[in-house]
Chains A and B, each alone.
Chain A
């Protein structure tokens, strides 16, 4: 311990570096949700704070798991979640419609959400057990791809393009960090360029195709599917530098902005808090993500590194896609903004990721201590 002030161990080891900015962000999010509810804590802001509290405890509990537990849990956990996905799909088939969650009584569990940190965990564990020399082998490519493809296919069936892309992104980033040869990424990139138009033509549902078209030219259908993008940009743009003031955003208060408390919560915020509020949010996300990457780089072993890096990437994917969407840089894919959007699943996924990174951070500290 090199700290000048001798703090009790639990306080000194508490992950202040992430909990403080996160709490600030969640509180800010709660303020925005308060405004989105027309100036009321219910229904959004209060449940947002409660969920944060609950999942923060969950994350802290996770952070105390030893590395062995995490490694051994990876495969059974992965299989369990895949089975849950199959179960959800089967129930949806029987129920005669698409269903994404399991009713557990106290909450609705979306297995696809759990899969986002899950895929990172299983791939980290896989690369950890993979003999180092085999990193250039086909096995290092095909097994992870298979592990990604199974849940991705199941989630696509739901259909939930956003989540399946998030799963793919997390997985691919872990593969990238694991050091599989660059040529496969270049090849994969070329394949993607070829595949995207084909996927657009054949894989996307008409409403998804429409979203892509609308993203390319929102003005083509200002009252229909372009409405979201246009209204969101109006909200952000009309906020200016310092915003219209708390509770004064006409776009959100008068219902012009769709989904002001979930997917477009950033626009709600930006209208009332302006560019300054937006930069604050970006800054906090920057701090959190930078913390995640630092934890990954500080990690002593391959498993921890890949786990922390992949989890950070998963959070990043949410943030980037959501913000690009609300600013008109990406098509509308229903992805909420972590820690600000109202919604239990998103809060759970992101707090699981944070918990996972905190866990790695704790392992790092233990290792450093033991090394000393």
Chain B
């Protein structure tokens, strides 16, 4: 009985407890249903979005870059369709192996492989590293076929920047390249990480980056968790960047660059009616086409070892003593101070100032010299004498008014000021009193004076027109109204005539006369001394001791349309500069005749600038072998060049107290008949 009762009570316990178990089970069932309803209904939108972002991969298509056009609308920078290969470092499994295999497929040399590996390691995990572009289809296909063995390698069809005239526009246009870490940090957009995207790194490409860039296209693809593309969903086309039209005359730019030939120098040509910069050539240069895929160590090494600084834009960042090219401007200052142009100074080959004798470049003397003769014969003594009469201030003012020490409103990365010394400046800089001999040195563009080729071209334009011509680089159909410089027509014509006589009369640059009927070019020669006579005679010996050759010019002399400046670094005197100016102007008025002259010269030099650069590169590559230091990223490179340029162009640290001894004014090399 007792046992049965207990058994019954156990049965009751079981019923009770099994009910509890059932209730717990039902409760958990309801909890699960509620939880599922919450996830699937209440949070459905959120999870749908997450599933979608899992499934869909958005790939940006780098926009086609806007073209850079010359004034006639022909491209200075365009794009061409190309097969390219990039590496995304963070997707690499075994960088060495991948680079090795890729190098084999693309037939890389050992140097190129090391180079690539280094670039991959440096940018590890960051943006795409360009491997090669402009590939032939065969190689491209070879890489595409072996993709399964090459994780992280991205072959794609795209566009690469193409500069038809190559090195001729290198400094002006700049180049493009994959964004650096710094650039991405400054502008953290996914586009900058997209393989194949390039942004402007220098020159106009950098200045007009936002205009040229365009809007990226996008491709939506369905991908698996492991990144395999299942299918394309939709593709949005990119919008090409806007074109930038320059005032540059493309053919003239190319001509001038090529005409500089073996020299290190620059040519600036302006339209002095509108201020349009027609040509800003600076040589030697680099080929922006090859720069646009990053600088290889070989190329960098070659460029950085070149003492002619092919990475510096000499038009804007080269500073030179203007030498005698400043004389017409000083002449304007004299006229402005009421000096009668017909008043003569007797030049006997030198002038005593204080306890020093300042020599004229012509040791025999120029005899009785008025202002005109002092310009076309470039008589130093006349200016020594007259400058002392009016003092430094009017001369410094004139120099500044005519463009020296000015920065112009141009879309360029940097332009150097240069120096126009005056008593205050010297006091501040060196803590010394301005001396008479400082004025004397300055009047012939030596001493502390420094100007850039662009400033000299502006000076030529203003001398030609007596209007405050300001240069511009972006094309516009409007003709700006420049205000006058307050120079009477009489004086304006007087200086024009004197400068014409430099070329067409009894002047120092007779060989600069244009071989074009009815067009007379006016100009002024200049020879800027780099070291004293005790080191070099300025014409021979080590290249870096030779004098700079300068020439400013405008044409036609009586109704100026074009003006410009040529500076040849260490050309050995003005004789190296004016033949370039002559040919460039000839090309402007009679292209065929200009080209004939150029072709003759290029035969002597051994090919066009591009051909010579390519050959130089090949020679350098074979000589250098593999043991080269790596190239720094392009940004630091540019800064470094900037710094070097600044140092090279700085004023002397100590105040110069020596009398300056000018060199022969006209000294075309291999031609003794200087006049």
A25 CB within 8 Å of chain B: no
Please name the residue on chain B nearest to A279 by beta carbon: B33
Q: Given contact pairs A177-B17, A235-B51, A240-B44, enumerate 14 new A-B contacts (beta carbons under 8 Å).
A: A135-B10, A236-B47, A237-B47, A250-B51, A254-B222, A256-B224, A278-B40, A279-B33, A285-B29, A289-B25, A293-B25, A302-B11, A324-B28, A329-B31
B220 CB within 8 Å of chain A: no
A316 and B40 form a contact (CB under 8 A)? no
Q: Which residues of chain A are near B54, meaning CB under 8 Å?
A: 231, 234, 250-251, 254, 256
B401 CB within 8 Å of chain A: no
A237 and B21 form a contact (CB under 8 A)? no
Smallest CB–CB gap between A141 and chain B, Å? 15
CB within 8 Å for A278 and B25 given contacts A179-B14, A237-B47, A238-B44? no
B interface majority secondary structure: helix
- Scoring A231, A256, A296 by chain B CB atoms within 10 A of each residue's CB, the highest score goes to A256
Q: Which residues of chain A are near B17, meaning CB under 8 Å?
A: 176-177, 179
With A and B bound together, what is the CA distance between A173 and B39 in angstroms? 31
Kindly identify which residue among B22, B51, B222, B230 contacts A234, using a CB–CB cutoff of 8 Å.
Answer: B51
Please name the residue on chain B nearest to A244 by beta carbon: B51
A234 and B41 form a contact (CB under 8 A)? no
B48 and A240 form a contact (CB under 8 A)? yes
A37 CB within 8 Å of chain B: no
Q: Which residues of chain B are near A234, meaning CB under 8 Å?
A: 47, 50-51, 54
A290 CB within 8 Å of chain B: yes
B41 and A275 form a contact (CB under 8 A)? yes
* B interface footprint on A172-183 (CB within 8 Å = 1, 0 otherwise): 010011110000
Question: What are 21 A-B contacts defined by CB distance under 8 Å?
Answer: A132-B10, A133-B6, A177-B21, A231-B54, A233-B47, A234-B50, A237-B43, A237-B47, A238-B47, A241-B41, A254-B223, A256-B51, A270-B40, A274-B40, A296-B18, A302-B7, A302-B14, A305-B14, A309-B21, A316-B25, A328-B39
With A and B bound together, what is the CA distance between A367 and B557 in angstroms? 131
A73 CB within 8 Å of chain B: no
A329 and B35 form a contact (CB under 8 A)? yes
A226 CB within 8 Å of chain B: no
A177 and B18 form a contact (CB under 8 A)? yes
B33 and A293 form a contact (CB under 8 A)? no
With A and B bound together, what is the CA distance between A88 and B149 in angstroms? 41
A320 and B41 form a contact (CB under 8 A)? no
Q: Which residues of chain B are near A239, meaning CB under 8 Å?
A: 40
Please name the residue on chain B nearest to A179 by beta carbon: B13
CB within 8 Å for A290 and B22 given contacts A179-B14, A250-B51, A302-B10? yes
Kindly identify which residue among A237, A240, A254, A297 contacts B230, using a CB–CB cutoff of 8 Å.
Answer: A254
A313 CB within 8 Å of chain B: yes
Q: Which residues of chain A are near B25, meaning CB under 8 Å?
A: 289, 293, 316, 320
B110 CB within 8 Å of chain A: no
- Chain B interface (Cβ < 8 Å from any Cβ of A): 3, 6-7, 10-11, 13-15, 17-18, 21-22, 25-26, 28-29, 31-33, 35-37, 39-41, 43-44, 46-48, 50-52, 54-55, 222-226, 230
Kindly identify which residue among A238, A279, A320 contacts B51, using a CB–CB cutoff of 8 Å.
Answer: A238
A179 and B10 form a contact (CB under 8 A)? yes
Smallest CB–CB gap between B208 and chain A, Å? 41
Q: Which residues of chain B are near A233, meaning CB under 8 Å?
A: 39, 47
With A and B bound together, what is the CA distance between A250 and B224 in angstroms? 9
Closest 10 interchain pairs by CB?
Answer: A237-B47, A238-B51, A179-B13, A255-B225, A250-B55, A132-B6, A275-B40, A237-B39, A238-B47, A238-B48
Smallest CB–CB gap between A250 and chain B, Å? 4
With A and B bound together, what is the CA distance between A323 and B36 in angstroms? 9
Kindly identify which residue among A132, A237, A279 contacts B3, using a CB–CB cutoff of 8 Å.
Answer: A132
Q: Which residues of chain A are near B15, meaning CB under 8 Å?
A: 297
A327 CB within 8 Å of chain B: yes
Smallest CB–CB gap between A165 and chain B, Å? 15
Q: Which residues of chain B are near A302, meaning CB under 8 Å?
A: 7, 10-11, 14
- Scoring B6, B15, B28, B39 by chain A CB atoms within 10 A of each residue's CB, the highest score goes to B39
Please name the residue on chain A nearest to B31 by beta carbon: A329
Smallest CB–CB gap between B505 and chain A, Å? 82
With A and B bound together, what is the CA distance between A236 and B36 in angstroms? 7
With A and B bound together, what is the CA distance between A61 and B10 in angstroms? 31
Kindly identify which residue among A275, A293, A309, A313 contacts B36, using a CB–CB cutoff of 8 Å.
Answer: A275
Smallest CB–CB gap between B602 and chain A, Å? 61
A interface majority secondary structure: helix
A286 CB within 8 Å of chain B: yes
CB within 8 Å for A237 and B40 given contacts A254-B222, A290-B22, A302-B10? yes
Q: Which residues of chain B are near A240, meaning CB under 8 Å?
A: 40-41, 44, 48
Smallest CB–CB gap between A155 and chain B, Å? 23
B14 and A293 form a contact (CB under 8 A)? no
Smallest CB–CB gap between B274 and chain A, Å? 61
With A and B bound together, what is the CA distance between A161 and B230 in angstroms? 38
A12 CB within 8 Å of chain B: no
Please name the residue on chain A nearest to B35 by beta carbon: A327
Smallest CB–CB gap between B91 and chain A, Å? 15
A20 CB within 8 Å of chain B: no
Smallest CB–CB gap between B212 and chain A, Å? 38
A150 CB within 8 Å of chain B: no
With A and B bound together, what is the CA distance between A233 and B25 in angstroms? 23
B18 and A254 form a contact (CB under 8 A)? no
B21 and A313 form a contact (CB under 8 A)? yes
With A and B bound together, what is the CA distance between A323 and B13 in angstroms? 30
With A and B bound together, what is the CA distance between A164 and B222 in angstroms? 42
With A and B bound together, what is the CA distance between A309 and B18 in angstroms? 7
With A and B bound together, what is the CA distance between A255 and B51 in angstroms? 12
A58 CB within 8 Å of chain B: no
A286 and B29 form a contact (CB under 8 A)? yes
* B interface footprint on A84-127 (CB within 8 Å = 1, 0 otherwise): 00000000000000000000000000000000000000000000
With A and B bound together, what is the CA distance between A282 and B15 in angstroms? 24
Please name the residue on chain B nearest to A296 by beta carbon: B18
A132 and B39 form a contact (CB under 8 A)? no
Smallest CB–CB gap between A354 and chain B, Å? 16
Smallest CB–CB gap between A243 and chain B, Å? 9
A236 and B39 form a contact (CB under 8 A)? yes
Please name the residue on chain A nearest to B43 by beta carbon: A237
* B interface footprint on A313-331 (CB within 8 Å = 1, 0 otherwise): 1001000100110011100
Please name the residue on chain A nearest to B12 by beta carbon: A179
B40 and A254 form a contact (CB under 8 A)? no
- Scoring A231, A237, A254, A324 by chain B CB atoms within 10 A of each residue's CB, the highest score goes to A237
Those of A342-363 within 8 Å (CB) of chain B: none
With A and B bound together, what is the CA distance between A275 and B54 in angstroms? 21
Smallest CB–CB gap between B103 and chain A, Å? 32
* B interface footprint on A157-178 (CB within 8 Å = 1, 0 otherwise): 0000000000000000100111
Q: Which residues of chain A are near B21, meaning CB under 8 Å?
A: 173, 176-177, 293, 309, 313
Please name the residue on chain A nearest to B37 by beta carbon: A275
Kindly identify which residue among B6, B7, B28, B223 contacts A320, using a CB–CB cutoff of 8 Å.
Answer: B28
Smallest CB–CB gap between B63 and chain A, Å? 29
Smallest CB–CB gap between B26 and chain A, Å? 8
With A and B bound together, what is the CA distance between A177 and B46 in angstroms? 43
Q: Which residues of chain A are near B14, meaning CB under 8 Å?
A: 177-179, 297, 302, 305-306, 309
With A and B bound together, what is the CA distance between A16 and B109 in angstroms? 77
A237 and B44 form a contact (CB under 8 A)? yes
Please name the residue on chain A nearest to B16 by beta carbon: A179
With A and B bound together, what is the CA distance between A285 and B33 in angstroms? 12
Smallest CB–CB gap between A227 and chain B, Å? 10
